[in-house]
Amino acid sequence: MLEQLKQDYVRTAWAKGLPSRMVIVKHALRNSLIAAVTVVGLQTARLLGGATIIETVFSWPGVGRLLIDGIYARDYPIVQGAVLLIAVTYVFINLIVDLFYKWLDPRIKLE
């Protein structure tokens, strides 16, 4: 946020006489949120992958525990289903992050 406040377009908005709240929210905050959204999306995906380890260590029921039990039992349909569910969730999270990018900065092209 501090880097965005030093940019020329923010100084120009203040020079035009826009209210401080509008300059901070519409100009600086929107552009600085792109980096934060990236980090949140990656951390959410990492949390999903770490759920397998946490569920195994603490014996919590869940998709991660189901995946590990399926591996030990050589139950291939269960393993395939759990991996597919985790992969689809990961792709869905990335899709949401990309759509949020487009909402934050309309100049970003989604192709």
Evaluate if residue 75 carries a pLDDT over 90. yes
pLDDT given at position 3? 78
Domain locations in the chain as residue ranges: 2-104
- What value does the mean pLDDT of the chain take? 85
Q: Are the CB atoms for 44 and 93 separated by under 8 Å? A: yes
pTM of the model: 0.70
Residues with Cβ within 8 Å of residue 69, at least 6 apart in sequence: 75, 78
